[in-house]
Structure 1
Amino acid sequence: MAAAPNRWWALPVVLVAVFMTTLDFFIANVAVPSIRTGLHADGSEAQLVIAAYGLAYAAGLVVSGRLGDLYGPRRVFSAGLALFTLASAACGAAPAAWVLVQARAVQGVAAALLAPQVLALLGGLYQGADRARAFGWYGTAVGLAGVSGQVIGGLLIAADPWGLGWRACFLVNVPLGLAALVATARVLPSAPPVRPEDGPTAGAGRGLDVAGAGLVAAGLVAVVLPLAQGREHGWPAWTWLCLAASAPLLWAFAHRQRRLAAAGRQPLLDLGVFREKGFAGGLVAVALLFGGSAGLSFVLALYLQEGLGLGPAAAGAVCTALNGGFLAASARGAAMAGRLGARLPMAGAAVLLLGLLLLDHAVAGHAGAASGGGAVAWQIAGALLVTGGGMGLLMPPLLSTALARVRPALAGAAAGVLGTVQETGGVLGGTLTGTVLLGSLESGWGPAARAGLAVPIACALGVLAMTALTCRHTPAARAASRPTTTGGAGSRTNTTP
């Protein structure tokens, strides 16, 4: 695949898929008030519009990574892209809340099919410094989609094209998906499935482990569903039973995978991926980063509109500062990497923490102020500019280094695990932030927003600690942040776009 003459034309195609699937998790947050009004949905149904996507996404990622190994990443990518486009059309045309929830679940399944294939395709198409740049652009696309949800959703709802209202937030995926599908057939080279001799279980048992797929899906749903729905329903007994059942389900999955590997059969997930250098620590940092990002999105979605009284378009305009900071920092990432090397993620985490503290200070000013929210909105925009800058410096190298040294035979497993951690971390962070913020509303919007911001701030502190620990104890990570002219899955390459 790395020798394909049109391989650079493939990059925007796969990044369009990355952008759409990441954006759809965040854009629905700003659309929820309009969905509740338009479809007469109650609070539980509105919450499921968000949760159904995350549940299906998280539950399907590990299986999707294995499907890419079995049938080739391009084939699974094309199927996922087609399904995502159809599901987006179904979301935009949904006549009732329960139809929208089901269509969102299908969207989540399609997104799960896409995510690991994107990472596998990038690893196969590019080598050496090119591979690092491609992964850097991947991190930029993920981060930009994450910080753009509030902006794009607010602008689409305010513009109300053809009277579509909130439906435009989903229908915008249809032309993008169709264009990407046409381009996939032209510019994306085919890749063979992973050969049996490439993996540690050389030879037999290359079929899909259906029992393992059921165990991991049930275990992840048992974690995510009660966290997504528990607060809305007052934490009934079933939520605690689900959480209690998640541990034995996931343990049974891990035990089955070890048993299959010991018997010389191909497991659904090769647990050896967790022993790859730097991968486990990278997962912790990624979970904290995406948890904090989801929590920040939740706070902004509610506080700007309901706390400060801004409309969707004005709230989106404030959040453009987050995008601006992210883009500016991403553009300077290569130059910063040349000076900071492996310390770049730590520097990004420090800037992210500073931005969140400035945001907390701005909200604290509103909590005690008698004036309107206009001046506070400008202060929030300034703080978001710094916060976006920290994300732009941190996210691309963090995602890249988590995968840079994983062997090709484990690429599908690593991509599935990383995507699962991203999604689960986002659900956990968003749920915890929502629980804290909504539980503090009796004190007013200012104190409640500050209480909610404590979760992203704590996550940023955790990311800073993890990146500092990695920089201190893994000297090889310094080499991983510099360009190299040699390729291969284990190359230590520049992690910025």
Structure 2
Amino acid sequence: MSTALRTRPAPAAAAAPEPSAPGTRGLLPIVLTATFMTALDVFVVNVAVPSVQADLRAGPAAVQWVIAGFGLALAAGLITAGRLGDRYGRRRVFALGLGLFTLASAGCGLAPTAAALIGARVAQGVGAALMGPQVLAILRTAFSGAAQARAFAMYGLTMGVGAVFGQLIGGALIRADLFGLDWRSCFLINLPVGAAALALVRRCLPESRAPRRPGLDPVGVLLVTVALTGLVLPLIQGREQGWPLWTWLCLTGSVALLAGFTVHQHRSGATGSPLVDTRLFRDRAFAAGLLAQLAFWLGQASFFLVLALHLQLGRGLDALGAGLVFTAIGLGYLLTSTTAHRFAARLGRQAIALGGLLMATGLGLLGLAVYGAGTAGSVWWLAPGLFVDGLGMGLVIAPVTSVVLAGVEPRLAGSAAGLLATVQQVAGALGIALIGIVYYGAADQMSAFGRCVAVLAVLELLLVGLVQLLPRRAAQH
């Protein structure tokens, strides 16, 4: 492949070795294992909730925090984690996050009470936050040229497989009831996988960091952590609690704090070492790519939620049955995600636009299936629309991630990766909050699902429009 989505070539001095070079041969399996575990644990907990509630006698509030604690810790820690990798070494911080995530998974699987499970889930989120930006930064700095495009394609494939098949894997584990562990096996399965990956980190991952070790900017860390907590927490909890006053106060305060953080980062860029280097936004591909990421993830997490609700509440399927329906998305995703980098090489930004159009078409087919057959028809009438939606997903996830990071200077890779991952998490939480208003405001399951897919189709068309802001053609590697 001669081209890839990239805004400008990296300086020659920063060129990274091809994957055949010593120190990178086992890199992808290690970082993609961590990526898969994180993606899986975001979604697998949804199918484990009923069993957790019965086993630990957890109330609705506790169950919400089992889910929310992970997402909140993950979203709040990503930007800081990216900077930690730049300063102390991406391999070192990745290993720390992987170790914490694995230990926290043991805490989840062995939790005797709901409170213990919530604490372990928060620790899992911190571990995932430490790993996430390092994975993206390592892929950006360890590979170049066509190898980098393939690495990001594999990253996108891994994320999608974890998300799409998470519910199926969780349902299968609970149904199998291995060693009588029931829901606990959904977390304990991370132990052997995480321990094996951790044992190979030093051997397989090259170390990298910013040439000049940046400061940690404690004021910036405090501002962004409090601001993101104030933003994500009400988005996660607001709808369930009827949007009380505290949620609006948190949202308002978070906007003010984010504005203060932006001003502080701009000033720090001139006099010190900012947590987020605002010069990143001078790069057209980076700025427009973040907007495209925002639009995509607004719809992605919320679509998985409303589909799961429709299949289980509207169609009466159990977790395993719903997971089997999700395989229709997975099949489409597998077909395109493995070759997305080739589409990107030929079509440039329009490869992402094609993915958005396919997703909008798939959502339209879902709407036709629901309104045409209603909930009385076979659930497999949804399969064609889900398959087409999966085809579109596969053309978006890896290329849109690559276009954001490919032109970033290696010394800023951790900071850029942390910001990118934060946009994904915040967009997911915001999308779920907004789609919840649409879903629960409808009179019945059929109209609820139909309205949601219509809103989500509009988001995909918005993605198509935002993609046009990206550079017209990919730059030569």
TM range (shorter): over 0.9
Matched residues in 2 for 1:433 and 1:154: separation? 24
Match of 2:328 among 321, 334, 347: 321
Q: Which residue identity lines up with residue 124 of structure 2 in the other structure? A: Q
Aligned partner of 1:199 in structure 2 is none
Aligned partner of 1:489 in structure 2 is none
Structure 2: gaps (5+ residues): 1-15
Q: Which residue identity lines up with residue 2 of structure 1 in the other structure? A: P
Aligned partner of 1:126 in structure 2 is 143
Matched, 1:385 2:401: no
Relative to 1, partners in 2 of residues 1:469 and 1:123: Cα closer, same or farther, differing over 3 Å? closer
Matched residues in 1 for 2:252 and 2:23: separation? 50
Q: Which residue identity lines up with residue 33 of structure 1 in the other structure? A: P
Q: Which residue identity lines up with residue 105 of structure 2 in the other structure? A: S
Q: Which residue identity lines up with residue 380 of structure 2 in the other structure? A: W
Deviations 1:315-343 (A, max 9, x none): 11111111111001123435534543432
Matches within 5 A, 1:275-424: 275-337=282-344, 339-367=346-374, 371=376, 373=377, 375=378, 377-424=379-426
Match of 2:156 among 131, 139, 149: 139
Matched, 1:460 2:460: yes
Aligned partner of 2:439 in structure 1 is 437
Matched residues in 2 for 1:252 and 1:380: separation? 46
Q: How many residues align?
A: 460
Kept in 1: contact 2:74–2:129 (CA 8 A): yes
Matched residues in 2 for 1:10 and 1:267: separation? 29
Relative to 1, partners in 2 of residues 1:28 and 1:435: Cα closer, same or farther, differing over 3 Å? farther
Structure 1: gaps (5+ residues): 197-202, 481-491
Name the SS for the 1:289 alignment partner.
helix
CA RMSD across the alignment: 1.8
TM-score normalised by structure 2 residue count: 0.92
Deviations 1:79-138 (A, max 9, x none): 000000011111111122222111111111111100111111112211111112112211
Tell me whether 331-340 or 96-105 shows the greater mean CA deviation.
331-340
Matched residues in 2 for 1:254 and 1:57: separation? 21
Matched residues in 2 for 1:148 and 1:456: separation? 21
Match of 1:254 among 244, 252, 262: 262
Matches within 5 A, 1:153-302: 153-191=170-208, 193-196=209-212, 206-263=214-271, 265-302=272-309
Matched residues in 1 for 2:465 and 2:311: separation? 30
Q: Which residue identity lines up with residue 459 of structure 1 in the other structure? A: L
TM-score normalised by structure 1 residue count: 0.89
Name the SS for the 1:316 alignment partner.
helix
Tell me whether 210-219 or 334-343 shows the greater mean CA deviation.
334-343
Matched residues in 1 for 2:100 and 2:445: separation? 40
Greater length-normalized contact order (CA 8 Å, ≥ 6 residues apart): 2
Relative to 1, partners in 2 of residues 1:435 and 1:304: Cα closer, same or farther, differing over 3 Å? same
Matched, 1:2 2:17: yes
The alpha carbon displacement at 1:344 in A equals 0.9
Deviations 1:203-222 (A, max 9, x none): 9xx33112211110100111
The alpha carbon displacement at 1:366 in A equals 4.2
Matched, 1:96 2:103: no
Identity percentage over the alignment?
48
Matched, 1:22 2:22: no
Aligned partner of 1:487 in structure 2 is none
Deviations 1:137-181 (A, max 9, x none): 112212222222222222222222222222222222111111110
Matched residues in 2 for 1:438 and 1:36: separation? 22
